[in-house]
Chains A and B, each alone.
Chain A
Amino acid sequence: AQSVSQHNHHVILSEAASLELGCNYSYGGTVNLFWYVQYPGQHLQLLLKYFSGDPLVKGIKGFEAEFIKSKFSFNLRKPSVQWSDTAEYFCAVRPNSNSGYALNFGKGTSLLVTP
């Protein structure tokens, strides 16, 4: 079945630690890829997206993600996390075979950054 998998459901890091959140998808063909963040009590906000071109994508707040087509992966990274990065992170895929522009989301990864 077509799906988006986020391997880590809960991650706890100390401030200044490096972060990598995994995302794999199982759609064939061309896809658009996204990472969204949801801070406590807030709506989802776009961190970064990949449509085409350079597979290393830089987003807001120091986040980046790398699209590896052969591995069907789009992992999110940040070299040094801050307490304010505590949030829920969602990977999303838009298969180009869809009848529209809807995104399919992973289950999310809850990140807690401790001081």
Chain B
Amino acid sequence: NAGVMQNPRHLVRRRGQEARLRCSPMKGHSHVYWYRQLPEEGLKFMVYLQKENIIDESGMPKERFSAEFPKEGPSILRIQQVVRGDSAAYFCASSPGSESLHFGNGTRLTVT
């Protein structure tokens, strides 16, 4: 029973490049959540998606960030024109609905 799979585990990008983070939810889970973790700041909610729909993106920066969860394939968090402040750990979680969230191992993004 595979858990939430995120890749890559580590991603290094230069300023101005694009970062694509992928998340495959647990089997049977149709709800996906993205969180960002910065040192001493805990987990900040970014976006909540169901298949092909964005349900809540209140935590997403208005520019450069986008997320999708297509009918087929993983959920993608996309960051365009990355800046140093985007360096963080990005966690994906999934759930079948109103139960608890199951988290992936995260992607650690470093912007140089």
Contacts and interface: CB of A to CB of B under 8 A. Distances in A.
A101 B55 CA distance: 10
Contacts of B97: 101
Interface in B11-57: 31, 33, 35, 40-45, 48, 55-56
B90 interface: no
B109 to A, nearest CB: 16
Interface in B79-112: 91, 93, 95, 97-98, 100-106
Contact of A104 (B4, B40, B45, B93): B45
A44 B48 contact: no
Nearest to A46: B100
Contacts of B33: 101-103
A9 B40 contact: yes
A85 B3 CA distance: 22
Interface in A81-115: 90, 98-108
A103 to B, nearest CB: 6
Interface residues of B, number: 26
A100 B56 contact: yes
A103 B3 CA distance: 19
B100 A90 contact: no
Contact of A34 (B4, B31, B41, B100): B100
Contacts of B98: 32, 101
A43 interface: yes
Contacts of B93: 44
27 contacts: A6-B42, A34-B100, A42-B105, A43-B91, A43-B106, A44-B43, A44-B91, A44-B103, A46-B100, A49-B100, A90-B43, A98-B56, A100-B31, A100-B48, A100-B55, A101-B31, A101-B48, A101-B97, A102-B45, A103-B101, A104-B45, A105-B35, A105-B44, A106-B42, A107-B41, A107-B42, A108-B43
Chain A to chain B: the 8 pairs with minimum beta-carbon distance, closest first? A107-B42, A105-B43, A44-B103, A43-B103, A102-B48, A100-B55, A43-B105, A108-B42
